Structure 1
């Protein structure tokens, strides 16, 4: 057993030094700073650290490997390019799990396919069990490196120098700050040092040091869990065979085809009746043919969320039915279920269209907001998934799990880059031009992404928006003076545009 991994291509001391260098960069980029351009920089450094040892249990990077890297990098770049608070919070939660899943796919000992649900278990097992078991390894490396008598005298001296520096740096931070507080002349002598040193208090120095210490240990343990996963984790999982459709691996208990056919007949009878009634006024709503004498607003509000919920339920039924199908099912029964599934997809499409038309009417009456925009996007996304599922009914060649994973990730990245705030601002401006209705208070709350468009609008068409934009300008001016780590292109462009607006 080689606990320190001496026989591996990556020496443990090199991995540990790299981990602490990454930790130093991490605290420099993020400590006391708002996330901005620092995030994509750190993600690049993190990938460089985790993938630099290509000879250690690293799977050849395939098309999906590069795709996942592009997804993670594009999402991290949003912190430097855009200023939408919703996606900033969502990406903050989404990016780390994506990185963990990506690493589990590239470096996991079990070599699980990327579309297999077990990749999540592999990522969690590595993140907690395999990484935590290497915490003692950190201290063992330091002890062995300090006590090792073998090797050249030069290597021994270098190790001792590194250990001495690790001890002296935190001690010097405390001592220098104490001396500067005790003697004004000494403090003035420090004026030649960078500003960050002068502003570094004892409390901040200890916090930064603790940050580096914990982050460095965490980075090393995570990497070393891949390099030395342990005997219990190095078995290659060969349970997946190409001859078995990938979806069948996730079905522990198939639903009997007769039960499924009965379920589909029952729900389709109700859905067909609903769709027939919908057609009596669905396509005439734009000409005023509304049910029960309802107004546009009442029609738009009524049943919208219910229709979306039913469409989502139908999608779940469709997926369960597809996963339950088996080649051993009777041919006539299989054909009947396929026809019922097509009918289910058709009814779901009508319901989605009905909900979509109601939402458009509602937006024309009350304007465009974050929630309404996101619901629009969700319905379009659900419609795409339904189309893929409909194709899957016809042929088992379509890899449903793979398609949904790739489309889901690509759609999420697209939503980040579509410019939600600018689209909402533009649609509300068009609504004002057509009917004169606008909510300036809401427009002023949009993120910096929309400010250049709103500045032009207030300058040329709606001066009443200027007082509200002036308050936003003051906020953005403070944001633009943040350290370089917090730089955001959208905030910079918005501040410049508003500065030009109020300078005139």
Structure 2
């Protein structure tokens, strides 16, 4: 009976289904080396960008990361177009900003610019792009968020596989396990011995103070923050060199998304914008004499220079930003827009842009008058720079109404990069100090506020020293006040600070 039941079955037949092992991806030596480099670079980035202000070291960190990206992408046989080569040169140039200026705000803005532009550079190389994407916001989203986070855990997998497949890695795991076990026991024994002997207590306390001082805990915190940064940076490199399974940017899909956003009737848009335009006309008529005074450099009756320049400047600035938002809203949500944009919508776009340009010109004229009387400050400099940038954007918007095929994203990116380069490489606080000193020496400025200059970065202080308005003793006092901690000196590793350091001795 039993033999009949088993008849026809092979003795090796398995009645239990075997689990199918998931095939592990194979990583090349380039990925392993990249993983190690990225971890080190991420720690340097956290330490010399996020935790400390920046100088020569930060320039070296960004240059190293950019170079590693180029080498790795070439290793993966990605093609570098002429556009990508120029893009890489721009990134290298902006990496120098940390070394030529001591201005913290400029360096922080430059760091943000390099992070965003660097992510887009790697994305562009992976896509073999030969120009700036027409749908730049969508491309930037993919470059900064979608692609890197799609492989956020890849570096951890590579590290785990490398440790599992090597004898050194296995030994490292055992050593770490042994340390985890022995640390609590060692701490208990040390505590008992310290209670029993005063000499040992002093010895161990001294060792503890030297090792576990504040800088030690700063390094531990920096290492913790460096881990997610490393995972992100590796995911950025890896995803753009292994695009299988990732959704590429499709212009037709982007066009359809924009088309789907057009839900508001053009008549509603015209009705909403018309009162604003009428209000501008009435505003300009009623304030014609007031505004013309800004261009003729004459004060309206009853105003001082300070009152005239300050009154309404930031309100006009806010109105310009609101108008930019209204124009974006009109272009994105009007039912008939884009290539089929009717003449009426073009007219309102041009009219609103023209009104805004007049407001910007008026605000800038008032600011120039104020600066010529009271000198430059950081707020006046940065606000004026941004107003000029806004004016250029509105000019591009006007041109776009008559030339639909104009690559707006390309021109906007170029204009912004040039203006941002002007901001970074002009060393704003040096410009501010030089302008105020020249105004004072020519008699156009009644008083030179050296205290304000000394509170600025080394760019301004060095300029003031070269112009002879402060002495080496003032610089020494400035250094004693600002260079109180050795670790904090890292932020002063730039050309201005090095020259200023030598002048103070």
The alignment's TM-score, normalised by the length of structure 2, stands at: 0.73
* Contact 2:101/2:495 (<8 A) preserved: yes
Map residues 411-450 of structure 1 onto 2, 5 A cutoff. 411-432=419-440, 433-435=442-444, 436-450=446-460
CA distance in 2 between counterparts of 1:43 and 1:357 reads: 39
Larger radius of gyration: 2
Q: CA distance change for structure 1 residues 66 and 163 in 2, over 3 Å: closer, same or farther?
A: farther
Cα offsets for 1:131-159 (capped at 9, x unmatched): 1355244212311x22xxxxxxxxxxxxx
Give the alignment of 1:24-423 within 5 angstroms. 35-54=54-73, 59-107=78-126, 113=133, 115-122=135-142, 123-132=144-153, 134-143=155-164, 145-146=165-166, 160=167, 201=211, 215=226, 219=230, 222-223=233-234, 226-227=237-238, 234-237=245-248, 239-241=250-252, 249=258, 252-285=261-294, 289-291=298-300, 293-323=302-332, 324=334, 325-328=337-340, 334-423=342-431
- 1:487 counterpart (489, 493, 498): 493
Distance 1:382 1:43 in 2: 29
Query: Cα offset for 1:384?
Result: 0.8
**Unmatched tracts of structure 1, length 5 or more:** 147-159, 179-198, 500-504
Higher deviation after alignment, 297-306 or 484-493: 484-493
Task: Report the equivalent of 1:187.
Answer: none
What aligned pairs does 1:464-479 form with structure 2 within 5 A after superposition?
468-474=474-480
Tell me the secondary structure at the aligned position of residue 324 of structure 2. Answer: helix
SS at match of 2:292: coil
- Counterpart position of 1:496: 502
Deviations 1:257-314 (A, max 9, x none): 2223333332221212222334324333476754452222221111111111112222
The answer as to 2:463 corresponding to 1:453 is yes
Structure 1's 13 and 267: CA in aligned 2 closer, same or farther, altered over 3 A? closer
Contact 2:149 2:235 in 1 (8 A): no
Query: C-alpha distance in 1, partners of 2:55/2:66?
Result: 18
Q: CA RMSD in A?
A: 4.6
Instruction: Give, in whole Å, the separation in 2 of the partners of 1:310 and 1:214.
Output: 40
Aligned length: 455
Compared CA separation, residues 296 and 497, structure 1 to 2 (3 A): same
Contact 1:476/1:491 (<8 A) preserved? no
Per the TM alignment, residue 67 of structure 1 is displaced from its structure 2 partner at its CA by 4.6
Q: In structure 2, do the counterparts of structure 1 residues 70 and 413 end up closer, same or farther at CA, with 3 Å as the change threshold?
A: farther
How far does residue 383 in structure 1 lie from its aligned partner after superposition? 0.9
Q: In structure 2, do the counterparts of structure 1 residues 448 and 483 end up closer, same or farther at CA, with 3 Å as the change threshold? A: closer
Query: Counterpart of 2:291 in 1: which secondary structure?
Result: coil
- State whether residues 84 and 447 of structure 1, in contact with CA within 8 Å, keep that contact through their aligned partners in structure 2: yes
CA change 1:215–1:357 in 2 (3 A) is closer
Q: Any gaps of 5 or more consecutive residues in structure 2?
A: 1-20, 191-208
Matched residue, 1:183: none
Aligned 8 A contact 1:307 1:351 in 2: yes
Q: Distance in 2 between matches of 1:18 and 1:261?
A: 56
CA displacement at 1:57 relative to structure 2: 6.3
Cα distance between partner residues in 2 of 1:261 and 1:167 = 73
Aligned residue runs from structure 1 range 5-20, under 5 A: 5-6=25-26, 10=29, 12-19=31-38
Deviation at 1:478, TM superposition (A): 7.2
Structure 1 residues 159-201: Cα deviation after superposition (integer angstroms, max 9, x where no partner):
x467668988999xx99xx9xxxxxxxxxxxxxxxxxxxx984
Q: Once structures 1 and 2 are overlaid, which stretch shifts more, 288-297 or 247-256?
A: 247-256
Larger mean CA deviation between 202-211 and 220-229 belongs to 202-211
Hey, what's the Cα distance between the residues in 2 that align with 1:456 and 1:207?
37
